[in-house]
Amino acid sequence: MHPKNLHRNGYPMDALCQTYPALKPFLVRAKSGNTSIDFTSPQAVKLLNAALLHHYYRLEYWDIPDGYLCPPVPGRADYIHGIADLLKSTSSSAQGGQSQNEKDQSVRGLDIGVGANAIYPIIGVSSYDWSFVGSDVDDVAVKSARAIASKNSVLAHKFQVRKQANRASIFNGVIEANERFTFTMCNPPFHKSAQDALSGTQRKTSNLTRNKKKRSGAKFTDNRDQGFGRRTSKLKDQNASYQGNYANLNFAGQANELWCEGGELAFIQRMVQESVSVKDNVEWFTCLVSKSAHLKPIKTSIDYYGATQCKVVDMGQGSKLSRFVAWTF
């Protein structure tokens, strides 16, 4: 993890329970002897997030509606710290080697797809004193993010939420004519379809269950393929079927959070194309890229639309490798 990531040494469960007692009933003893939680339990994962945000980021209130994405906080923090490094390096170059302060109130970010959880603005405001606008197409997510913004003093006057009325647009309709942002950020929909999302979610859940069984010494039977076949045969409405089958799984997620037509690559290429129309409003555009194979076509698109710089920032959490791409005009 990033050296400044507050979670790089794991979860201090005892300390978390002291500051957020609601987590305590969900603690379990791992095979290693360490205290942990059952990561197959959506309620346990949600309470762990609430405890982390309360303990490290001074939140007084955090909640999300059932079925909405409950993201792992450490990886989200890495993206924020990576953007801070990007801004620091480019600011230092522009100022002849004089780097900006660790916290900079003049930095303003736009989180595309802020979600019901509002994780990125929370970490960015608390860690760097940045201000944020978050946008989303989902009415319930917008309402939830606004509640988080209004019920936490640390976010007061620092975080605003806007509804994106046009699902076909990313920046247009959110960024106002004379508005300036230091950066934009986005965790794009990963999958190409509801079926793809169902399959991926089931694989992850199956792996979590397998690991849990191994730790307990119980035998694990993988019925993933049979279950998936029964479910997908009934997909009359992909959105409704996705929500009905998987809204209660550990990290959850609504359809618009997890899939779009063409998947991640198509979404990011559309983002690059649309960034041209707001290039005078934004210093740096950034977006997470989950598949390294997508980097080459994304770079080709960025070059095609005339960006003056393109950077890829690698990140890693344990055995998982990720990165974000950044471009500027």
pLDDT tens-digit profile of 201-246?
Answer: 555 555 545 555 555 555 444 443 333 333 333 333 444 443 444 4
Identify the weakest region by mean pLDDT among 115-119, 171-175, 226-230, 276-280.
226-230
CB 198 within 8 A of CB 246: yes
CB 26 within 8 A of CB 38: yes
Classify residue 40 by its DSSP letter.
T
How is the chain split into domains, by residue range?
65-92+106-192+253-328
CA dist., res. 284 & res. 125, Å (int): 18
pLDDT band at residue 276 under the 50/70/90 scheme: very high
State the pTM of this model. Answer: 0.80
- H/E element holding 123? helix 119-128
* 108-112 and 131-136 beta bridge pairing: parallel
Buried b (16+ CB within 10 A) or exposed e, 187-226: bbbbbbbbbebbbebbeebbebbeebeeeeeeeeeeebee
Using CB atoms within 10 A of its CB, is residue 104 exposed (0-12), middle (13-18) or buried (19+)? middle
More confident residue, 110 or 256: 110
pLDDT tens-digit profile of 132-150?
Answer: 999 999 999 999 999 999 9
As a whole number, the mean pLDDT across the chain is: 83
pLDDT > 80? residue 286: yes
Q: Which fold has domain 65-92+106-192+253-328?
A: Rossmann fold (3.40.50)
CB 78 within 8 A of CB 1: yes
More confident residue, 25 or 32: 25
**CA nearest neighbour of 107 among 90, 87, 123:** 87
pLDDT > 50? residue 105: yes
